[in-house]
Amino acid sequence: MDSLDKKILRLLQGDATLAVSDVAKRIGLSTTPCWRRIQKLEEDGVIRRRVAVLDPARVNLGVTVFVAIRTNSHSIEWLRRLSEVVHDFPEVVEFYRMSGDVDYLLRVVVPSIAAYDAFYKRLIARIDIRDVSSSFAMEQIKYTTELPLDYVILDRSGSLPAI
Amino acid sequence: MDSLDKKILRLLQGDATLAVSDVAKRIGLSTTPCWRRIQKLEEDGVIRRRVAVLDPARVNLGVTVFVAIRTNSHSIEWLRRLSEVVHDFPEVVEFYRMSGDVDYLLRVVVPSIAAYDAFYKRLIARIDIRDVSSSFAMEQIKYTTELPLDYVILDRSGSLPAI
DNA sequence: GGTGAAACTCATGTGCA
DNA sequence: TGCACATGAGTTTCACC
């Protein structure tokens, strides 16, 4: 990946509807080579997908809850089971295995506290969890799918990546 | 919004490269009305944008950190300042105002612990924060931009939304 | 609301510096 | 690698139901 690829990624992260010719213009290239670069970024899996991002409020999902999970069962088997369950719940949009105090962290989106409670009951009905602690978000102040590209490692180029 | 709109959203959330004619076929409509529906969903702000989603690992962003912030300054002014600072850091991809124990929660993506430390120093150099607690994610098990559409409120239709 | 076709804009492929 | 041009596919607009 070189600095032109990085520019392409920056543009497409912001707006995936840009025509190849527009992207090409903005990075100072003609369409074919630009198109080939985009193809390669997709083949290489740097670009994973192109998606429509919806407004949560407009689809009745005003409430975000962070669910911290602590377990006794530190087995691969239990983790596998939890992953399976979590993947079955579309309300869970993010799921992390954590270091430290908390074992797992979920981000859950639902329309209301009542809906969260219903979700919670369905969750614990499917898997035994030692300790669950739910924190409600009052407001989503920033949410972006754009990753900072300042740390990208460029091939055969002079500029070193930040840290 | 009716059930056809909901189907459109479901498809485009998963793959925004689908041709309008494909979407139309799958929901049992011809292209023009389908195209008009998509336009309207965009105008109405239900579809906020179409973006390319990148693989964090491929752009050197292997480390996710959740940063819980507690403050003394429960003023609008301090919040405004924090928002400003956070929006200036592309490493912060999510930012919530929380209820309960923690006042604010950030999700930060960086290449390494060292990079996180550098980020942390730059952050506290720009705003005074009473208490910061950082939790490192070891593994991202699920991450999706697809919102559950099961709670959408449909106009003039028989089916009531879930909860 | 919906259909079908025309016009126009892109994405994609070939040939060549 | 890069550019310029051809063509087929997709988007967008139109007249009409």
Reported as a single tens digit per residue, the pLDDT across A12-39 is 999 999 999 999 999 999 999 999 999 9
Q: B111: which DSSP letter?
A: S
Q: Which nucleotides of C are covered by protein (CB under 7 A)?
A: 1-5, 9-15
Strand C–CB A72 distance below 7 A: no
- pLDDT of residue A136 exceeding 60: yes
- pLDDT of residue B159 exceeding 70: no
CB contact set of A22 (below 8 Å; sequence gap of 6+)? none
Strand C–CB B154 distance below 7 A: no
Distance from CA of B95 to the nearest CA of A (A): 5
Distance from CA of B161 to the nearest CA of A (A): 9
By Cβ distance, the residue of A86, A101, A136 closest to B100 is A136
Taking the C1' atom of every nucleotide in all shown strands and the CA of A19, the nearest one is: C10
pLDDT score, position A74: 79
Say what the pTM is. Answer: 0.94
What domains sit in chain B, N to C, each tagged with a CATH number? 3-43 (1.10.10.10), 56-136 (3.30.70.920)
Reported as a single tens digit per residue, the pLDDT across A83-126 is 999 999 999 999 999 999 999 999 999 999 999 999 999 999 99
pLDDT score, position B46: 97
pLDDT score, position A160: 63
CB contact set of B53 (below 8 Å; sequence gap of 6+)? A47, A48, A49, A50, A51, A145, B145
CA of A6 to C1' of C7 (A): 36
CA of A30 to C1' of D4 (A): 9
Contact status, residue B65 vs residue B135, Cβ threshold 8 Å:
yes
At residue B127, the 3 state secondary structure works out as coil
At residue B108, the 3 state secondary structure works out as strand
Q: In terms of DSSP H, where are the helices of A15-89?
A: 20-27, 31-43, 76-88
